[in-house]
Structure 1
Amino acid sequence: MVVETIETIPVFQTAFARYAVAALLMLPFMFTRPSLFQMSSPSRYLVRTIAGFGGIALMFAAIQVIPLASATAIGFTSPIFAMVFFLFSCFKSRCRNYDGLRPSCPSSNGLRQMAV
């Protein structure tokens, strides 16, 4: 029933509605505790927001084309691809530390912990 409803609504309208509801739910927290929502780098946050909106829009577009279970299963594989891309980006560097990961990689400690 949900898939039939999503197929009739345009993809960007569905993604916008999802973000609008989330923004309305976060609004009370933004006014009561504004220090929690301060950004250190607005340009990075803008890129992250655009990428997140694109990901949500592509997920709704995928649901319109392939079955919901397949789209969800493909979405669950994204952490695997993120780790693979992280490894390729860190191993291409010539500046390596003792275990092969760049010290400048922000999540190299997390990857080391996952490997142990």
Structure 2
Amino acid sequence: MNIVFNTSMWQQVWEETPTTKNRLQCPLLLKSPVIALLISSPTVRLNDWSLGAYVQREVFTGLVVGGLPDARLDGSKKLYLNKLQVFTYSVKCEYSLVASCFVYGSGVRLFAWEYTGVIN
């Protein structure tokens, strides 16, 4: 995968404030196999490797097994607090992001950007 990173090649697709320790779902379907994620807090002061959330891709499979048509694709990705992280995926498809947050409350924000540039 060959990617040229440039600030104009990112589109913010999600911003949310986790209010409780629960599951959050991005309201948009994404297509890019490259995304950037950040969970930030100006008030939570934890060490540099503090886990803020787990993030997974969720896809509509068309299969209904156990009454649910959606499936998780790939394993969970760890999202560390106050660390901008770029994730790449090998399987290209439309997907939604699902986050299980461990930090929440005042000042905590979850952000996602989709890469819109050319990928070779």
Please give the TM-score of this superposition, normalised by the length of structure 2. 0.21
Larger Rg: 1
Identify the structure with the greater strand proportion. Answer: 2
Instruction: Give the TM-score normalised by structure 1.
Output: 0.22
